[in-house]
């Protein structure tokens, strides 16, 4: 399979990579056997299609993409049997899509990804129509050594930030790593970015928020987690997981 290694794409011009369905700052879609290592991006990504949540479940065997909406600062969809080692985002990235993450829109079930780093900056913005994560919109794969390093404005401790947009659509769930975890494993996870996503006067808001994931479904193993971040939310808020939904 193909290999992409030692790629460093930096820009001072806030460049947005825009498409309809599966969009990444560096790679749109990964399928089959491939390896990605030592990739750094500060490109923004937008998948413009407003996908219905029930239609936006990726199928690796399908070649029909018109009903999907995935976006990530590094990769839109990591599927197949890919191996990802060391990807970094650390600039003012903006990501827009139904399932959207700072690094990935989706990490699929047979993908292994380790040493993923997001260094949160002041203007990081994620506009997820359904599920949004600081690292990945949806994770079903095997993640190890994931670090979300919080932004500090110079005062003591880390700074509460909104990051996740609720306009024009309010996402169902957002999290410090993933909006939705639908299977797989997570090991050695560290999150230090605090989120403020609601006010006492709010009459609507994101349904489910978690320090690691807004929603967890399927069979998932999570171990060795360190969350040193505060959360302010609306309906359902969990320090680790917002909502656990069994089958």
Q: What is the share, in percent, of the chain residues with pLDDT greater than 70?
A: 96
pLDDT value for 157: 64
Q: Tell me which of 70 and 122 has the higher pLDDT.
A: 70
pLDDT tier, 200 (very low <50, low <70, confident <90, very high otherwise): low
pLDDT value for 198: 82
Q: Which residues contact 183 (CB under 8 A, 6 or more apart)?
A: 109, 140, 217, 218, 219, 220
Say whether pLDDT at 247 is over 90: no
């Amino acid at each position: 399979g193909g290999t992409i290694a030692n790629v460093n794409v930096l820009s001072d011009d806030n460049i947005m990579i825009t498409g309809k369905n599966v969009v990444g700052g560096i790679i749109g879609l990964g399928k089959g056997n491939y390896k990605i290592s030592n990739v750094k991006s500060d490109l923004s990504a937008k998948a413009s299609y407003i996908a219905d949540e029930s239609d936006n479940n990726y199928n690796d065997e399908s070649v029909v993409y018109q009903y999907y909406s995935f976006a990530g600062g590094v990769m839109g969809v990591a599927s197949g049997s890919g191996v990802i080692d060391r990807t970094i985002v650390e600039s003012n990235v903006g990501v827009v899509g139904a399932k959207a993450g700072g690094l990935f829109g989706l990490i699929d079930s047979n993908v292994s990804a380790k040493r993923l780093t997001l260094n949160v900056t002041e203007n990081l913005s994620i506009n997820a129509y359904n599920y949004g994560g600081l690292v990945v919109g949806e994770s079903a794969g095997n993640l190890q050594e994931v670090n979300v390093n919080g932004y500090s404005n110079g005062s003591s401790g880390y700074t509460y930030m909104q990051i996740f947009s609720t306009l024009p659509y309010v996402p169902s769930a957002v999290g410090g790593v993933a909006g939705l975890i639908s299977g797989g494993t997570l090991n050695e996870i560290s999150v230090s970015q605090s989120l403020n996503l609601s006010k006492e006067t709010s009459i609507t808001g994101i349904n489910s928020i978690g320090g690691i994931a807004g929603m967890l479904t399927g069979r998932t193993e999570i171990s060795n987690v360190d969350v040193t971040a505060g959360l302010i939310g609306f309906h359902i808020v969990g320090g680790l997981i917002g909502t656990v939904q069994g089958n």
